[in-house]
Structure 1
Amino acid sequence: MKRCVFNHLLLLSVAAALVLFVSCKEKNEQANNKYNETTQMLVSLVDNNSNLKSLLEEAIDKAKDINPDPETNPAQSLEKFYDFVDFSQTAMPWDVMTNCAGQQTLGGKMNQALCYCYFINTMELESLQGQNLFTASVQYVEPYRSWLVNYCKSWGNFLSSPQSWSQEYVDLVMAQPELRMEDYEPSANWNSFNDFFCRHLSSPEKRPIASPDDASVVVSPCDGVPQGVWHIDNDSYLENNGKVTIKSREFNSIRTLIGPDSEYADAFAGGTFYHVFLDVFDYHRYHFPVGGILKELKVIPGDDALGGYIHWDADKQQYIVDCEEPGWQSIETRGLAIVETDEYGLVAVMPIGMSQVASVNFEPTLKVGDRVEKGDMLGYFLFGGSDFVLVFQEGANFQLDIEENNNGGWDHMLMGERLGSITKTN
């Protein structure tokens, strides 16, 4: 009898343990299935890396102190951060951040999406000070740094898929005056959000090229707001132009920007560096600012970090990006086109990807040895932050021909407009 009772209890114990095991397994599977593959990769990295977990929690807490409103800063905890990361990968850019009262146009909402995705990533952390990162933020720390590239690719894959586009979205973008949709090709050509984002002009007349026959005139390679001109010293490092503070020389090496494996890496000592920032409502195809022979053409893989800072303006209820300070371009994914002009030496023409998709693309028909004319198509950006750099040699004496506005900066300009001039000095 006792043996029978014992066996019965043993069976009950085994059954209970089996039920508990199955229950736990189901819960774990449910937790794993809650997020997509890229988000789950982040969860796993954090679970197995106490330092990364600490850094992310520090960044989230600091961001929460700056903006405690969950309507405009939804990632108020690590769990909420995972939720936001997961949601954003299959969201339309104008649906990611809809509650920032200061940016309620369609372009404004896309801008806020770009900004908020890097609000936490760009938090300056006390625990990362003195580690020679571009900024003391988690976006530059492995393994998060590499994961961020995967996150950007995941969102980019969705935005390049047919699931990211519909007639509803066509009607929506066509109704936005700030997008200047009258400048562009028929919407029937777009089968995804990224097709729309890198849309072609309807005709060259929408962006006429200034002084096409005057080789001394440099035109803007893209739509955007000029950020300034910096002199390059004789050791190929950017010098302070008196307006912003330049960081460690490590991040301001033109040799690193061009790529040390390029035969032209040291060709721009004593020259001039210029960059322009594109916004989401801009034309996202870029063109040659000068004519000449194409000597080198390649994409240089790099980070998908922001390269600057995101500030929350509580009064205006919006996020603001600050990428004026140069140097970050040398660590981002970037394109390099070296053009040898007939009279003014070499010009490095460089589209710079930043944040989100950070996709830099060249026209497939271009090849080294081609002769290109000023205004010819060079390539395009897909959705994400975008910057563009021009580097001139010492003898070209590049000068901006555009006037500063009342704020000490420059007004928005269109691709093809006169940007500056080059004159031989030796």
Structure 2
Amino acid sequence: MLEKSISEAKKVNPDLKTNPVQNLSDYYDFLDSASELIPQNVLENPSNLTRDQILQSICYFYFLIDQPLPELKDKGLFNNSLQYYAPFSSWNRAFVNAWGKFLDTEKSWNQQTYQGFYNDPRFGLQKGWYEPSSNWKTFNEFFSRYLKSVDERPIASPEEPMVVVAPADSVPQGAWTIDKDSNIKVAGGLKVKLTTFYNVDDLLSDDSQYKGAFANGVLTHTFLNVNDYHRYHFAVGGIIKEKQNIAQNVAVEVIWSKKQNKYAPIVSTGWQFTQTRGYVIVDTEKYGLVALIPMGMAQVSSVNFEGSVKPGIAHKKGSMLGNFLFGGSDFVMLFQDKAGFELTARKAKTTVKNANQKSEDIYEHILMGEEYGVMKGMQ
């Protein structure tokens, strides 16, 4: 199946400069180099890439294993591609964990790499937001960098519990109503018994005490790109009731854009239900329970919580929750019915077409601490 996936990828993009892996032998060579790759250059000739080199390095890895395979159709997978097939997914997680260990070494960081990120304004290193760069001895220390002070991300309405703030620098993706059976309906989503429903209880652990707690509520999620600040914070204040880490897939849907000559991730809704993630459930009292679910995406899907994040401990809105390590990431939140949650993040002036060719809003990039939504309570 891996050989078939590589072959299908070659059909989609036959260009050797942007798709150098043409067979299984090439793939093995690619893995040897990828296991100690400093996230910046993925191909032999980086000049062929766009300036999004760090994102391209992630996307290319997954492009090779994200091709649809007939052998995997109707197997109950999110998509019929190799990266969602359990035996390969398990190996893939082991591989990206091995790469993560390399990114914890000083071999993964140098002045040239730092300068490349500094020169790219999207990383914000010229804005004075972050701790001294002398603190970064490894790539992961840079990627999980701290803010210089809390003043760099003011918390909107800190004394107003109804105001929900962005948990991270990210782009909101929208909000979905949860029905009485804890399902959400997603256009173009995974068909389960011919219906495109996902059950939000599947985001929680099998032994969670809070399955069914978010029926009739709202799901929302927001996407972090590789250049974003990758520490996440409490979007609401309250007492932690439950905390878990769940190790599953490390996957990304990827397309090759011939027109743009680059790879692009698909930020859909649904893949989160099979992905490596963590969660904490917070009791806000007046507005009920809120599930905060940092979602790993691609490599390295490392979801880490602060030591102070434990059941029974109260945290204020905006306080540190944890961090991701290398990889794009997503942050899901579940609100109970009694919260009356509404997404208030700024909408962009343009719209996009969904899988049913209906127009959907897209949102502007938001900084951690800015207003994300409002809990209006029971109406």
Q: Cα offset for 1:161?
A: 1.0
Map 1:161-172 to 2 at 5 A.
Answer: 161-172=105-116
Q: Secondary structure at the match of 1:93?
A: coil
- Candidates 213, 220, 242, aligned match of 1:274: 220
Q: Which amino acid aligns with 2:325?
A: L
1:12 paired residue number = none
Matched, 1:366 2:319: no
Q: Cα offset for 1:387?
A: 0.6
Q: Which amino acid aligns with 1:422?
A: M
2:370 paired residue number = 417
Map 1:53-64 to 2 at 5 A.
Answer: 55-64=1-10
Please give the alpha-carbon distance, in whole angstroms, between the structure 1 residues aligned to 2:370 and 2:45: 36
Q: Aligned Cα RMSD in Å?
A: 1.7
Deviates most, 66-75 or 361-370: 361-370
1:116 paired residue number = 60
Contact 2:100–2:300 (CA<8 Å) still a contact in 1? yes
Deviations along 1:375-396, one digit per CA (max 9) or x if unpaired, are: 0000000001211000000111
Please give the alpha-carbon distance, in whole angstroms, between the structure 2 residues aligned to 1:147 and 1:336: 24
Please give the alpha-carbon distance, in whole angstroms, between the structure 2 residues aligned to 1:389 and 1:397: 17
Q: Secondary structure at the match of 2:372?
A: strand
Deviations along 1:229-259, one digit per CA (max 9) or x if unpaired, are: 111111111124xxx3222349722111112
2:14 paired residue number = 68
Please give the alpha-carbon distance, in whole angstroms, between the structure 2 residues aligned to 1:235 and 1:103: 46
- Candidates 338, 346, 350, aligned match of 2:293: 350
1:331 paired residue number = 274
Please give the alpha-carbon distance, in whole angstroms, between the structure 1 residues aligned to 2:168 and 2:43: 27
Contact 2:341–2:377 (CA<8 Å) still a contact in 1? no
Q: Which amino acid aligns with 1:113?
A: S
1:150 paired residue number = 94
Deviations along 1:246-302, one digit per CA (max 9) or x if unpaired, are: 223497221111123110122111110001111010000000000011111221121
1:28 paired residue number = none
Deviations along 1:92-151, one digit per CA (max 9) or x if unpaired, are: 11111475779533xx10010111110011111123212211100111224222110111
Contact 2:38–2:109 (CA<8 Å) still a contact in 1? no
1:42 paired residue number = none
Matched, 1:389 2:332: yes
In structure 1, stretches of 5+ residues that fail to align are 1-54
1:16 paired residue number = none
- The structure whose residues are more often strand, as a share, is 2
Deviations along 1:172-209, one digit per CA (max 9) or x if unpaired, are: 32222221112110011112100000000011121111
Please give the alpha-carbon distance, in whole angstroms, between the structure 2 residues aligned to 1:348 and 1:201: 25
Q: Which runs of 4+ in 1 moved over 6 A?
A: none
- Candidates 131, 143, 146, aligned match of 2:75: 131
Q: Secondary structure at the match of 1:117?
A: helix
Q: Which amino acid aligns with 1:226?
A: P
Please give the alpha-carbon distance, in whole angstroms, between the structure 1 residues aligned to 2:316 and 2:294: 18
1:379 paired residue number = 322
> What is the TM-score when the length of structure 1 is the normalising length?
0.82
Please give the alpha-carbon distance, in whole angstroms, between the structure 2 residues aligned to 1:245 and 1:75: 30
Contact 1:362–1:380 (CA<8 Å) still a contact in 2? yes
- The structure whose residues are more often helix, as a share, is 1
Q: Secondary structure at the match of 1:245?
A: coil
Please give the alpha-carbon distance, in whole angstroms, between the structure 1 residues aligned to 2:43 and 2:178: 39
User: Which protein shows a greater Rg?
Assistant: 1
Matched, 1:310 2:310: no
Please give the alpha-carbon distance, in whole angstroms, between the structure 1 residues aligned to 2:44 and 2:155: 37
2:189 paired residue number = 246
Deviations along 1:330-387, one digit per CA (max 9) or x if unpaired, are: 2211111110003100000010012211000001122211111110000000001211
Q: Which amino acid aligns with 1:175?
A: N
Please give the alpha-carbon distance, in whole angstroms, between the structure 2 residues aligned to 1:319 and 1:100: 14
2:265 paired residue number = 321
> What is the TM-score when the length of structure 2 is the normalising length?
0.92
- Candidates 260, 263, 270, aligned match of 2:206: 260
Please give the alpha-carbon distance, in whole angstroms, between the structure 2 residues aligned to 1:120 and 1:126: 16
Contact 1:160–1:194 (CA<8 Å) still a contact in 2? yes
Please give the alpha-carbon distance, in whole angstroms, between the structure 2 residues aligned to 1:163 and 1:227: 36
Q: Secondary structure at the match of 1:238?
A: strand
Q: Which amino acid aligns with 1:68?
A: P
Q: Which amino acid aligns with 1:334?
A: R
Please give the alpha-carbon distance, in whole angstroms, between the structure 2 residues aligned to 1:102 and 1:346: 49
Please give the alpha-carbon distance, in whole angstroms, between the structure 2 residues aligned to 1:403 and 1:222: 15
Matched, 1:176 2:176: no
Deviates most, 248-257 or 85-94: 248-257
Please give the alpha-carbon distance, in whole angstroms, between the structure 2 residues aligned to 1:102 and 1:205: 40
Please give the alpha-carbon distance, in whole angstroms, between the structure 2 residues aligned to 1:83 and 1:147: 17
Q: Cα offset for 1:419?
A: 0.6
Please give the alpha-carbon distance, in whole angstroms, between the structure 1 residues aligned to 2:222 and 2:131: 25
Contact 2:104–2:138 (CA<8 Å) still a contact in 1? yes
2:355 paired residue number = none
> How many positions carry a matched residue from both structures?
364
Q: Which amino acid aligns with 1:86?
A: D
Q: Which amino acid aligns with 2:228?
A: D
